[in-house]
Structure 1
């Protein structure tokens, strides 16, 4: 998900291009977007926004990783700082108990954060087979409570090491209640965005460097099978709607139907669109993290996360 160190030098130029594109009508008509709606900027006070996740009430939590903050956007449209000193949290997901599960890559860990008292439990220490993780980046929790997460390598200014200790960049599976992750795909160049279907049967993983997104069958033991190329486009973050459409990010938000057919693109006036999720009381608000800003967009479909 978070690539802020690499895109910041181009941010001003990309923002200009995005604003020009945004001023024109979208090339494709997207029926998933409310008629006449465009992304509305909520705020641009951040350094680099990422990792939006929605709780049971429809409130959204997201990260500003360079500033080490987690923010909250509630269902009434109020924005507030939720937490400081977040372990450099990046991707987030809310579990069934309402805990915020975070890819805390300051020490390459997975955290569980209690939303009431902000108490932190380390679910997964920062090593695999005696070597540091590259940096857990994005995650998805299955209906059973198991976790899939991506582990790409993006050097961070808060690290003392500049080269990876792991061989390759992988997708991991962590069974609920354990601290023993299992590699489920080691054949990707740089896995990043990840999301699964609400029935727990299908997983999507984006290989952002190879500009591809794959679709997998989730087996009963957590392993992955039947890997298929879903689309010739990588992604930073991803989400799904109630019709099974997949939303991927980068240059705006691009929407694909369940067969992998491109439905269209939602232009976002920012240098880089990092991530996306559905929120609001009715789950019909698309929440978009994009560079220094966050945006909201009314939709005709609901999210499923």
Structure 2
């Protein structure tokens, strides 16, 4: 999440449509239009799709997790309060994982909104504030842990100096530092085959790729692009979607192949939703948007 976000007062849900004809791409459905589903929030983040294509996202300032229904385009509150949740991701059992940074925790939320707190600290020290999450094919959980000072915290500095990426082993729930050396790691996403992991260091305006080993460890760190990102996603063609100034799409060689402009000060995150996983769901400032695509998201 961006450090200094603007708080927008809630207004009624609207359906504002902007043409995307100016930048046609085979990635985007012919004649598709960017649809503003709602601008009723303060700062939207963390979109994650369930197996039915419904998308859950957060409004961190208002301490809510909201559900977008893929069938009727409706919006409803799934959980409130929500631990000041930021990034979200579904595990293989259908539980919603949440980077709940009110108390610097990682949550697992079941379909009845019951919370199981997975992580609260590392080696006796508070986490900086879990931000974004990815689950690998085995069920191991990667999460980024930058430090963004929150007004609702009592502390004013981190207990862990380094800004790390952590991995929770699927069998033992042991938590380990899996990658380090970042200014401020933020967005994180893996490929469909589980062999490549992308981590954005938004503090250093860079995104890196790593090779994922059988034990979840990371090797072969490479600079993917000289651009950071807030949230990230991938499609079924192996393209990587970065956010910040709208949505910028790269192929797996690190070449920019498309840009989706969003008329907001900041685009925070992106995922694929809908019954067929072909709707790009975008969170930006106080709004959420959808765009029909020719490519699809990745289900594990």
TM-score range for the pair, normalised by the shorter chain length? over 0.9
Corresponding position of 1:108:
104
Corresponding position of 1:295:
289
- Shift in Å, 1:289: 0.3
- Shift in Å, 1:220: 1.3
Does 1:158 pair with 2:152? yes
* Partner residue of 1:68 out of 56, 63, 67: 63
Deviation per CA, 1:226-251: give whole Å up to 9, x if none: 00111111000000000000000001
1:46/1:266 Cα in 2 relative to 1: closer, same or farther (>3 Å)? Answer: same
Task: Give ranges in structure 2 of 5+ residues lacking alignment.
Answer: 9-17
Does 1:57 pair with 2:61? no
Does 1:87 pair with 2:83? yes
> TM-score, normalising length from structure 1?
0.91
CA distance in 2, matches of 1:36, 1:278: 19
Mapping of residues 203-282 of structure 1, within 5 Å: 203-282=197-276
Q: Which has the higher helix share?
A: 1
- Shift in Å, 1:7: 3.6
CA distance in 2, matches of 1:214, 1:242: 20
Q: Determine if contact 2:5/2:43 at 8 Å carries over to the other structure.
A: no
Does 1:192 pair with 2:186? yes
CA distance in 2, matches of 1:172, 1:75: 32
- Shift in Å, 1:271: 1.1
Q: Secondary structure at the match of 2:129?
A: coil
Coordinate RMSD, CA, aligned: 1.7
Q: Determine if contact 2:6/2:43 at 8 Å carries over to the other structure.
A: no
CA distance in 2, matches of 1:24, 1:105: 35
> TM-score, normalising length from structure 2?
0.93
Corresponding position of 1:18:
none
Corresponding position of 2:177:
183
CA distance in 1, matches of 2:158, 2:117: 22
Number of equivalences: 290
